[in-house]
Amino acid sequence: MLDVAAIKADFPILDSTVRGGQPLVYLDSGATSQKPRAVLDAERSYYEHTNAAVHRGAHALAEAATDAYEAARSVIAGFVGARPDALVFTKNATESLNLVAYACSNATALAREDAGAIDPRLVLGPGDSIVITEMEHHANLVPWQEVCRKTGATLRWLPLTDEGRLDLSGLDTLIDDSTKVVSVVHQSNILGTINPVRRIMDRAHEVGAIGVVDACQSVPHMPVDVHELGADLVAWSGHKMLGPTGIGCLWGTPDILAAMPPFLTGGSMIEMVTMERSTFAPAPQKFEAGTPMVAQAVGLAAGVRYLEALGMSAVAEHEHALATYTLDALAALPGVRIIGPQSTIDRGSAISFVVDGLHPHDVGQVLDSRGVAVRVGHHCAWPTCRRLNVPATTRISPYIYNDTDDIDAAVAGIVAAQRFFGVA
Amino acid sequence: MLDVAAIKADFPILDSTVRGGQPLVYLDSGATSQKPRAVLDAERSYYEHTNAAVHRGAHALAEAATDAYEAARSVIAGFVGARPDALVFTKNATESLNLVAYACSNATALAREDAGAIDPRLVLGPGDSIVITEMEHHANLVPWQEVCRKTGATLRWLPLTDEGRLDLSGLDTLIDDSTKVVSVVHQSNILGTINPVRRIMDRAHEVGAIGVVDACQSVPHMPVDVHELGADLVAWSGHKMLGPTGIGCLWGTPDILAAMPPFLTGGSMIEMVTMERSTFAPAPQKFEAGTPMVAQAVGLAAGVRYLEALGMSAVAEHEHALATYTLDALAALPGVRIIGPQSTIDRGSAISFVVDGLHPHDVGQVLDSRGVAVRVGHHCAWPTCRRLNVPATTRISPYIYNDTDDIDAAVAGIVAAQRFFGVA
Amino acid sequence: MDLESLYQDIILDHYKHPRGRGLLEHPLGSAFHVNPTCGDEITMQVARDADGGLELGYDGQGCSISQASASVLVELLEGGTVEHSEAVRLAFVALMHAQGAGEPDEEVLGDAIAFAGVAKFPARVKCALLAWMALQDAEIQAGLLTTGEQP
Amino acid sequence: MDLESLYQDIILDHYKHPRGRGLLEHPLGSAFHVNPTCGDEITMQVARDADGGLELGYDGQGCSISQASASVLVELLEGGTVEHSEAVRLAFVALMHAQGAGEPDEEVLGDAIAFAGVAKFPARVKCALLAWMALQDAEIQAGLLTTGEQP
Ligand SMILES: Cc1ncc(COP(=O)(O)O)c(C=O)c1O
Ligand SMILES: Cc1ncc(COP(=O)(O)O)c(C=O)c1O
């Protein structure tokens, strides 16, 4: 296990008390992680010593700011085994996934005018299909619904088993020659399930489809090498992995980044501009219009260095141990049901549950009254809740700064909730 | 004039030296402003005491984070005379302008499927026109070119006089019944020209077009009340007005915000989601998909409070005085030509110039060697350079922390450049 | 934190023993509202009873606050006039937005004053208001209310 | 900062007195490159002279570094072999990416070693490389070079 006491000391917020003096027990890292001092220092230092417009100026500060921004890109790309120029910065994973979805709808619209200039893999129409899963975060569902509304393509999805795993029995018929895009979540934020994305991506490539992975809940929690996922594009967020709010990532192969038309357009992403027409810079600049989130990139790089110092294998082991402990503790509580895999095989540490006779919102409220912060609701995966016949869940999602004491506090809170509402 | 010495002391970076010990003279605020300690403190304090996912959690921190985010929205909206729910947060002004442009291209694509549900004002096609000006930043030019490529609409523009003002003689013929959108810059970032946007917006509304203002260079520099601009939508960035990188703003009337389809889709912007279809929350949530830039909103609100304490009229007067001083000083230098209005009537403090026999890049380099940071190039307004027959310009753009000593340093640098290259 | 100030006994009682739950056979107006953050759902229905008073029906799923609030609403307003329902609704909305500083009028609000503590929990205010927002929409749909002013 | 280390006399001389400037009448290959940050432009053209050596032409506008670099390029490579141009180009690119730490080979680079100081100014490296990148494209277009490997 990690040295949690030492790690906690690096996170100022974890010293807080809430709700009238209760020490904070933060178990909502699946929503957003807390930030170590090193990240806050890196951001501040950037503003105090380096801040200037990047890629636009020739003066000393502008050069230093550009260096800081591009050095951050190298660090973050290296963290997932990627080349710096294959990494695009966005504001969050939602923008990253929308960027990909808009590549399809934009290519489709542009091809109506000038089909020759557009990569046909990105052009969709009636008869084409996009395949996702029934456990997607809304961020990897709604953008594809919108693409379908705009292009006439059909959305399909891999169904779930009652345990909250993908049912892959129909994989080869669901992903067929009509399929142009396959986009799946690596680790579910609500169920904790880790999906066999490599197998799904390989099937996507068999039929010539583009493969996309939503790695929001995997890059922060386990070693991830983008090449091993077998995808063309991988999206994730900075704020769930110790980084600041306001920065996300999109990795892509050189091939797909070159093929995709730009998304946001404006300054810094152009090659030539006249009033009549413009040409665009190569990736990643092509996808980074406007003044970027420079301080946030620098902060995220500091977060990545912090994780690298711990070692991502150690992080994954730590979370595995916490997941085992949590699953055992919850299994021992009468009236508590896990929503998602019961075993620790191919599952992460985010654990959803429901309590008989209690609404998840009320469970969360009792935990909160004891200083324990968990997430309640549909976790932006509403269809997943419906499929598993729950209106919502309560979710414990620990990270590097949590230990079994924190889990114990959550478990004690569940028991207290049962007692308070008189259901146990 | 403002008390510049006191203000400078609030900006840690302005104490720096560059290029081997030269004190930094920062005259590149048109590109991005520096940040006062109050902004850095506000961001850090948010991360150390409040950070959590907003609008998604029920625990104490999540409530506090949501309050901090929405309180920031109120402060920033109030700064431009707006209601909080009329203010959408984006990552930068470029995203704000793209959001508007995509409202048109998305509405056009969606109307093909289901015209009834879409506001016809946003649906474009061949025969329709979009009107901008010849002094737009690429951020308010390229997105409209893309809309035209996707919908078949035609891009038109208000031409410039040789002095770099809008030639409005053809206003009533250029904006005609075919016009669906009119989008103009309030204050040019390259020329410093302040445009009569009210008059242009009124003409837009006469023909039923939607009026958009790019206020990137006005909101930071003068009192702006969005209602007085007469526009439907107003876009600007946080980083040019003391705020952090990674946050932009879009204000809109309730009418237009309700009419525009969503842009980025995913979590936090929905009302109901099934695998088959989704419905969306009202604005501003409708346009804020994913985990937002919370710390950056909090930081920008602190920047706004800093500006409010100075008073925006005082800021505008200060810059007016600096502009007068700079124009006079440059006029006195042989071989130096102002690109943009020569007088201080309807112009801001960003002042572009060229030096006979020297390339702007080389002028900037000499200034840089003396610690003076200015911007060189086409300033993301390449067509404006072409129209005014210059390959590029050197630009001095001061802000609240600059005084006439800083301008003197720039002027001395220009003379030194002329001497170094033997052209004077 | 004082969990009891949030979950008053009246609330828990209405949650466990909802009054008047069930949908109407012939509603004049019906509105389905949902809390997008947590998924709480309420369908609220209105009709006229034989004496011209309000007849109310509802169904839904969600947390104790959202469901108890619907039950209290029905108990308070069933059989009354539309004007009365509107007065109570406005008083309840005001109480919820008072952030715990409101002085609830027990005369008007009856059992609904039990929700005063909810106002201190911004994330739960939406739960408490859900049924009341749906009521307004249902009355508008039924032609009983004309203005759709959101307070 | 040492302005002289950036603007060596050789550079200023080539800037003020460009060598071989002008376009060819019958180019085999022609490439137009632009530096999107500052707008510097170069058109570089290649052909074969009577002896089979490289014939070069160019035109452009931009800062002293970008224009002097084109002039030095032409002076160094005109009349030589494609192989020679490629060797010099690779050495020049390496020098520009050495961030001031490179040991330029004067034998290969000739006057182009004057650009060593540019490598310390990242924003100017692109200016110095502009003509050389355009050369590579022009040679590929002319069929003189087959690989388009970017170092
Ligand atoms: C007039 C104008 N419009 C738009 C922009 C784009 O702003 P941003 O780069 O913050 O998106 C800028 C600044 O770069 C500007 O000056
Ligand atoms: C699996 C998954 N996908 C996508 C997202 C969206 O990320 P963000 O809100 O940072 O855009 C999240 C987190 O909210 C997530 O957990």
Closest CA to A234 of A176, A182, A165, A178: A182
CA B290, B294, B296, B302 dihedral sign is: positive
Q: Which two tokens stand for residue B341?
A: 């209005």
Burial A109-148, CB ≥16 within 10 A → b, else e: bbbeeeeeebbebbbbeeebbbbbbbbbbbbbbbbbbbbb
What subunits make at least 3 CB pairs under 8 angstroms with B? A, C, D
- Is residue B380 annotated as part of the catalytic site, yes or no? yes
Q: Which two tokens stand for residue C53?
A: 């008073």
CA A20, A24, A27, A32 dihedral sign is: positive
| Confidence check: pLDDT of B51 > 70 | yes
What subunits make at least 3 CB pairs under 8 angstroms with A? B, C, D
B20: nearest CB among D1, D62, D64: D1
Cα of B57 to nearest chain C Cα, Å: 7
d(CA B193, CA B183): 16
User: How, if at all, do strands B22-23 and B17-18 pair?
Assistant: antiparallel
Long-range CB contacts (within 8 A, 24+) of A122-125: A122/A180, A122/A210, A122/A259, A122/A260, A122/A261, A124/A151, A124/A152, A124/A153, A124/A180, A124/A181, A125/A151, A125/A152, A125/A153
Supply the CATH number for residue D68's domain. Answer: 3.90.1010.10
Q: Which two tokens stand for residue B222?
A: 């003068």
Using DSSP's 3-state secondary structure scheme, residue C47 falls into: strand
Q: What confidence category does residue D150 fall into, taking pLDDT thresholds of 50, 70 and 90? A: very low
Asked if residue D148 is part of any domain, the answer here is no
CB neighbour list of residue B33: distance below 8 Å, 6 or more residues apart = B220, B239, B240, B241, B242, B399
Q: Which two tokens stand for residue A43?
A: 């951001």
Residue B331: how many other CB atoms lie within 10 Å: 12
Q: What confidence category does residue D147 fall into, taking pLDDT thresholds of 50, 70 and 90? A: low
pLDDT digits (tens, 9 = 90+) for A358-381: 999 999 999 999 999 999 999 999
Closest CA to B370 of B8, B12, B13, B18: B18
Instruction: Report CA(B138)–ligand 1 centroid distance (Å).
Output: 8
Closest CA to C67 of C107, C113, C115, C109: C115
d(CA A118, CA A267): 23
If you average pLDDT over residues B208-236, what whole number do you get? 98
pTM score, two decimals? 0.97
For C114, counting Cβ atoms within 10 Å of its Cβ (0-12 exposed, 13-18 middle, 19+ buried), the class is buried
Q: What is the pLDDT of residue C150?
A: 45
CA A400, A406, A408, A411 dihedral sign is: negative
| Confidence check: pLDDT of B87 > 90 | yes
pLDDT digits (tens, 9 = 90+) for B290-316: 999 999 999 999 999 999 999 999 999
Average pLDDT, chain B: 97
Which of A91, A264, A288, A291 should be mutated for ligand 1, with most atoms under 8 A from CB? A291
Asked if residue C72 is part of any domain, the answer here is yes
% of chain A surpassing 70 pLDDT = 100
Using DSSP's 3-state secondary structure scheme, residue A340 falls into: coil
Q: Which two tokens stand for residue A228?
A: 């091993």
Chain C residues within an 8 Å CB radius of B58: 38, 121, 123-124
Catalytic option among B104, B216, B380, B385: B380
CB neighbour list of residue B11: distance below 8 Å, 6 or more residues apart = B34, B35, B36, B37, B401
| Confidence check: pLDDT of B128 > 60 | yes
| Confidence check: pLDDT of C151 > 50 | no
Asked if residue C89 is part of any domain, the answer here is yes
Q: What confidence category does residue C147 fall into, taking pLDDT thresholds of 50, 70 and 90? A: low
Query: Total domain count for chain D?
Result: 1
Whether C150 and chain B come into contact, CB under 8 Å, resolves to no
What residues does CATH 3.40.640.10 cover in chain B?
43-307
B266: nearest CB among A53, A138, A277: A138
d(CA D135, CA D82): 11
What subunits make at least 3 CB pairs under 8 angstroms with C? A, B
Asked if residue D61 is part of any domain, the answer here is yes
Q: Which two tokens stand for residue A172?
A: 């080869």
Asked if residue D16 is part of any domain, the answer here is yes
End-to-end Cα separation, chain B, in angstroms? 34
Q: Which two tokens stand for residue A203?
A: 């099937």
C42 phi and psi, to 5 degrees? -140, 130
Q: Which two tokens stand for residue A391?
A: 């209106």
CB neighbour list of residue B186: distance below 8 Å, 6 or more residues apart = B194, B195, B197, B213, B214, B215, B216, B217, B218, B224, B229
Closest CA to A408 of A335, A341, A330, A349: A330
Interchain contact, A62 vs D123, CB within 8 Å: yes
Q: Which two tokens stand for residue B202?
A: 């009124």
Q: What confidence category does residue C146 fall into, taking pLDDT thresholds of 50, 70 and 90? A: confident
Using DSSP's 3-state secondary structure scheme, residue B395 falls into: strand
pLDDT digits (tens, 9 = 90+) for A196-215: 999 999 999 999 999 999 99
- Sheet holding B233-237: strands in order across? B87-90, B248-252, B233-237, B210-214, B179-185, B129-133, B154-158
Q: What is the pLDDT of residue C1?
A: 53
Cα of B244 to nearest chain D Cα, Å: 23
d(CA B233, CA B253): 7
Least distant ligand from the CA of B99: 1
Q: Quick check: B184 and B165 in contact, CB under 8 A?
A: no
Q: Residue holding tokens 């968990």? A: A374
d(CA B6, CA A420): 57
Q: Which two tokens stand for residue A115?
A: 């089909």
What residues does CATH 3.90.1150.10 cover in chain A?
4-30+311-420
Which of B237, B239, B250, B352 should be mutated for ligand 1, with most atoms under 8 A from CB? B237
Q: What is the pLDDT of residue D39?
A: 81
Q: How many residues does chain D have?
A: 151
pLDDT digits (tens, 9 = 90+) for B374-420: 999 999 999 999 999 999 999 999 999 999 999 999 999 999 999 99
Full residue range of the structural domain in which residue C9 is found: 3-141
Whether B383 and chain D come into contact, CB under 8 Å, resolves to no
If you average pLDDT over residues B107-123, what whole number do you get? 91
Asked if residue D151 is part of any domain, the answer here is no
d(CA A140, CA B49): 31
Question: Please, do chains D and C touch (3+ CB pairs < 8 Å)?
Answer: no
Q: Quick check: A38 and A358 in contact, CB under 8 A?
A: no
B281: nearest CB among C1, C36, C121: C36
Interchain contact, A271 vs D124, CB within 8 Å: no
Query: Which atom of ligand 2 sits closest to the CA of residue A185?
Result: 1
pLDDT digits (tens, 9 = 90+) for C68-95: 999 999 999 999 999 999 999 999 999 9
Whether C15 and chain B come into contact, CB under 8 Å, resolves to no
Quote the distance between the C-alpha of residue B4 and its chain's center. 24
Using DSSP's 3-state secondary structure scheme, residue B127 falls into: coil
Chain A residues within an 8 Å CB radius of B146: 106, 262, 265
Chain D residues within an 8 Å CB radius of B373: none
Q: Residue holding tokens 């001095």? A: B396
Residue A412: how many other CB atoms lie within 10 Å: 14
Instruction: Report CA(B137)–ligand 1 centroid distance (Å).
Output: 7
User: How, if at all, do strands A372-373 and A25-26 pair?
Assistant: parallel
H/E run at residue D74: helix D64-77
Q: Locate all alpha helices (DSSP H) within A119-223, ordered by sequence.
A: 142-151, 171-174, 197-206
Asked if residue D147 is part of any domain, the answer here is no
Q: What is the pLDDT of residue B57?
A: 74
Q: Which residue type does C116 have? A: A
- Between CA A133 and CA A143, with CA A137 as vertex, the angle to 5 degrees is 85
Q: Which two tokens stand for residue A184?
A: 């799946």
Interchain contact, A150 vs B106, CB within 8 Å: yes
pLDDT digits (tens, 9 = 90+) for A268-279: 999 999 999 999
Using DSSP's 3-state secondary structure scheme, residue B193 falls into: strand
Domain spanning A43-307: CATH 3.40.640.10: yes
What CA dihedral angle connects A186, A187, A189 and A193, to 10 degrees? 130
The reply to whether ligand 2 has any atom less than 6 angstroms from the CB of B343 is no
Q: Quick check: D5 and D117 in contact, CB under 8 A?
A: yes
d(CA B296, CA C128): 31
Which of B264, B273, B291 should be mutated for ligand 2, with most atoms under 8 A from CB? B291
ipTM of the shown complex: 0.95
Interchain contact, D39 vs B391, CB within 8 Å: yes
Asked if residue C149 is part of any domain, the answer here is no
Instruction: Report CA(A138)–ligand 2 centroid distance (Å).
Output: 8
Higher-pLDDT residue of B197, D52: B197
Q: How many residues does chain C have?
A: 151
What is the CATH code for A4-30+311-420? 3.90.1150.10
A377: nearest CB among C12, C38, C65: C38
Cα of A295 to nearest chain D Cα, Å: 20
d(CA C145, CA A222): 56
d(CA D56, CA D79): 8
d(CA A39, CA A76): 13
Closest CA to C40 of C13, C70, C14: C70
If you average pLDDT over residues A154-170, what whole number do you get? 98
